[in-house]
Structure formats: C-alpha cells, structure tokens
Amino acid sequence: MLKKYTPYVHPRKAQCLCGSGLKFKRCCFDIYQKERDVGASSELFNNKKYKEALIQCRADITRYTIWHRSHTEPPLKDGYEPIYEILDIDIKALSEMVRILFKCHERLNLLKEFPAVLDRLRENIKVERWRHHIVYFQTLCALSPNWNVKTGRHELKKIGSIEEVNDVEILQLFCELELEEFNFTEKLKLIDKILNLSEKWIDVLQYQSLKATQFLLINDIEEAKSLLIGAVKEARKNIDNSITAYEALRTGETMLLLSPLINDEDLALEAVSLLKKSLEFEYWTSAGEALIYREIGDARKRLDEWEQAKENYAKSLELSPHNVSQVFLAECYLYTEQLSEAKALLDEVLPEKLTYPNYCDYVFVHAVLSIASGDTEELNNSEKLLHTIEFKEPLFRERQQSLLISVLKCKANCSNENIIKRAFAVLKGVMRSANRYLIFQPNFMGIGINLNKVVEDSEKVHRERIG
Ligand SMILES: [Zn+2]
C-alpha cells in the first residue's frame, strides 16, 4: 500500500525550482498555482510570445517539481517499486518543459545563461537518469548555435559510460557525435540499441537508413537493400495527410537511397513528390530548401532527366551559392555533352568550401571532364586531384583507381571512345551512391528548432572530421 506523504513545501526564500536563479518568492511563487491549460507555454511559444512562454514554462517546471517531490520522491525513497513508472513519466514531462525553456532562451538570445539554468535544475529529480538528461541539454547547448562538435563532445563525456545509458535521445546524440569514431561492429551495436528503444516511426526509419548506409559503405548491397525495403514499407504505413515537413524529407531521402539499388524508377518519382511536399511547409531556411532542391536534382539525375536535374540544381544554387550543387550541375552538362559549360561551372567551384565527401565528388567529375575533353593540362590537374583523396571504403577506392588509370592512359595519348565510356560508367556508379553520406541526423529539438542550421553545420563537422 502507498503511504500518505506530506506534500512538499518549497521555502519562499530558497532559490526557485525553475532554474532562474531568483528567489522563489520573487519568481514563480505567485503564478505557479494558477490554473492553466497544459501546453500553454508551447502555445505561447508557437505564437512567438517568447517572454511570456518563458515565464509560463518556468512556472510549469516549478509546479511539476513540487508535485514530483510530494508524490513521487517519497515512495521512491522508500523503495516502492510501482512508482518507477511514475518516475518515468515525471522525467519525460519535465524534459519536455526544459526543451521549451531551451527554445525560449534560444529565441530570446539568452542561451549563454542556459548552462547555469541547467546546473540549477540538476537536482529537481534526484536520480541519475535525470542528471543524464541535464547533460543531454548541456551538450545541445554547447553545440549551439554553431554546432561546435568539440565542445559538445566534451560536454557529453560527463555522462560516463554510454553502455549504461538507455535513454534514446542521449543515444541519438551520442551516435551523432561519436559514430565516426567507431568500428563497423560498434556502430551497428549502437544503431541497433537506438532502434530497439525508438518509439516513433520516423526515428525507426532514420536509424534503419543509417544502418543501411553502413552496409552500403562496405559494399554489402543486399543487406542495405533489405533494410531499406523494410524501412520504406514501414514508412508507407505512416504516411498520410498529417505528415510533417521533417517526415516527408526523411521518407523521401530513404526512398531516394533505395531506388537505384532496386532499379525502381517509380520509387524515385515517389521520393520526388515527398521532397516537393516537404518544401510546401514554411519550415526551412534557404540552406534547407537548397538541400531539398539538390536532392530532387539527384532523383532527376537518377531518372536520366538531365534538364529537370539541371533546373533543380540551379534552384539549389540560387538559394545557397557555392554548394555541391555546382558540381552536380556540371555533371549534368557532362552527360548532355556540353563540355565547355561543365568546365565553366567546375572552374567556379571553391573546393575548400565543400565537405570532404562532396570534395571527392568534385574530383570525380573533374576527372571525367578531363578524360572527355582530352585536355593535357586538365588531365594533369585531375591526376593531382585524384591523389588528394583517400577512401576507407573499398568500393570508392576501386573507382578512384579506375579513374586514375583512365587519366594516365589519356595522358599517354591513348584516349579513345572506350576509355571515355568507361570513365562515364565509373562516374555514374559513384554518383548513384552520392547520397552515401546523407545526413541522417535526429530532429534534436523537435519541430521548431532550426533543423537546417543543424543540417548545414553538420556538413562542416563531417569535413573537420574527415578532412
Ligand atoms: Zn521560478
């Protein structure tokens, strides 16, 4: 039987429970007991009333913490096991509130103060899982606003051994920041753990796709295929009119990844329509829109619809100049045999602005152009460029070697139709897996955070990591 416990009373002169650092009587005391709708703070936030949302959210945190300390904490101390379920609800609820608090601080340009707020919230629930959650938010804080991986990783280390963690959000963040450091087996172990804990279909889709890309990278097409087929099948069950921008994008990307593997053009078209749908939402920054147009371009390219591909890449460039779309646009001109247009575009590319995988794409396109044109100077450049890249993956290493040999043959004046044809085939093979590095990042802050900021900056991350 559950004992009767005396309700928790927070001293008026003590620091407020909302983390503001103010005294309780000067902070939430007057408003925390007032009746209000659940979700009032997120509604205020959505209506862009950030200051009001902040005050409301603080009051919610205070109220919930007092409730927790009155009803959950005492039986927990007594070791009353059924209370673990309530504890779980408390942690989730309070996390949700901290999330809104985070977003309010972000919008009000108060993020600098947020780590101290989090420090003060650390003891609101006195269990390790809650403290882990505080580290989670502190890590996101350290990553913001420029996605500074170094400080983020440093912060996340405070969690200690990840083996013990069973919180899906923390694992997702860990996956995002540390996956590249792992070997294949460790990577799969982490991804599988996340998959087992994921409740939302979109999370399952995302990590299933991430798992598939790991197999693609070791050239295990069959395994990748079966994972992606499963993922798409599951996604189809969930796609309806209430699909969000984020879900449409992710599902489109997964279909795009699968379509060349099973030579399914209809699937590529379906991906295009989902990507277009994601553009209907007022959710993206111009960098985000540029990314989506680029992916539509990729799909068109895969369908050999060169003119439409060109159109989408051009649109992507308009929105965000000097991105990899320039390289892909040049590639389209190669296929439509407009070599001088392709060359002009490639000459304008700023290779140092590209992510490492995209830099590799640039080198490949450059090589094929030089082979097709037979220009000695370009061939020399290509030879040099091909030597600057290094792949861990056998698949890409093979193709790199093959192009290098073609370049050398052309240089030795044995350029012929077959070499050119072969170079194009190699390029097609590479570019078909061009989204091998698709960024399958989790939607860390839910709808409302600037996902594209994350997407965009994480490309830099990959570059720092690999380059
Ligand atoms: Zn307060």
Domains of the chain by start residue, with CATH: 1-126 (no CATH), 198-465 (1.25.40.10)
User: Which pLDDT belongs to residue 173?
Assistant: 86
pLDDT computed for residue 422 by the predictor: 76
Report how far ligand 1's centroid is from the alpha carbon of 25 (Å): 8
- In the reported structure, the alpha carbon of residue 17 is separated from the centroid of ligand 1 by a whole-number distance in angstroms of 6
Quick one: CA dihedral 150, 155, 157, 163, positive or negative?
Answer: negative
DSSP-derived 3-state class of residue 417:
helix
Tokens for 57? 């959210």
CA 128 to ligand 1 center in whole angstroms: 23
What's the CA-to-centroid distance between 102 and ligand 1, angstroms?
15
DSSP state of 6: P
Distance CA 28, CA 69 (A): 16
pLDDT digits (tens, 9 = 90+) for 78-134: 988 889 999 999 999 999 999 899 889 988 989 889 999 999 999 999 999 999 999
C-alpha 330 – ligand 1 centre gap (Å): 57
| CA–CA distances in Å: residue 328 to residues 359, 362, 364 | 11, 8, 11
Taking the centre of ligand 1 as the mean of its atom positions, its distance from the CA of residue 135, in whole angstroms, is: 21
> What's the 119 CA to ligand 1 centre distance in angstroms?
14
Distance 76 CA to ligand 1 centre (A): 25
Closest C-alpha among 369, 372, 350, 368 to residue 359: 350
According to the model, what pLDDT value does residue 432 have? 58
Contact, 127 vs 133, CB < 8 A? Answer: no
Long-range Cβ pairs for the range 231-240 (8 Å, 24+): 231/204, 231/205, 231/258, 232/258, 232/267, 234/201, 234/204, 234/205, 234/208, 235/201, 235/205, 237/201, 238/201, 238/202, 239/274
Q: Which residues of the chain have pLDDT under 70?
A: 1-2, 145-147, 282-283, 322, 395, 414-415, 429-467
How crowded is residue 392: how many other Cβ atoms within 10 Å of its Cβ? 9
Tens of pLDDT, residues 298-340: 889 888 899 999 999 999 999 887 678 899 999 999 989 899 9
CA of 305 to the centre of ligand 1 (A): 58
* Cis peptide bond N-terminal to 260, omega within 30: no
Structural contact between residues 14 and 29, judged by C-beta atoms closer than 8 angstroms = no
321 alpha carbon – ligand 1 mean position (Å) = 45
Element housing 392 (H / E): none
Q: Which residues pair with 449 in a beta bridge?
A: 447
Q: How far is the CA of 3 from the centre of ligand 1 (A)?
A: 30
Helix/strand/coil for 21:
coil
Q: Given this model, what pLDDT does residue 324 score?
A: 81
Q: What is the pLDDT of residue 450?
A: 38
Name residue 339's amino acid. L
Q: Tens digits of per-residue pLDDT, 397-419?
A: 878 888 888 888 888 876 677 77
CA of 16 to the centre of ligand 1 (A): 5
Report how far ligand 1's centroid is from the alpha carbon of 23 (Å): 8
Give the pLDDT of residue 217. Answer: 76
pLDDT at residue 218, as a whole number: 79
Q: Compute the distance from residue 450 Cα to the ligand 1 centre, in Å.
A: 27
CA 168 – ligand 1 centroid, Å: 29
Ligand 1 center to 62 CA (angstroms): 6
Phi, psi of 223 (to 5 degrees): -65, -45
Closest-CA residue to 458 (of 445, 435, 439): 439
Residues 6+ apart with CB under 8 A from 32: 59, 62, 63, 66
Helix (H) or strand (E) holding 354: none
In 3D, which of 95, 126, 131, 163 has the Cα closest to residue 171?
163
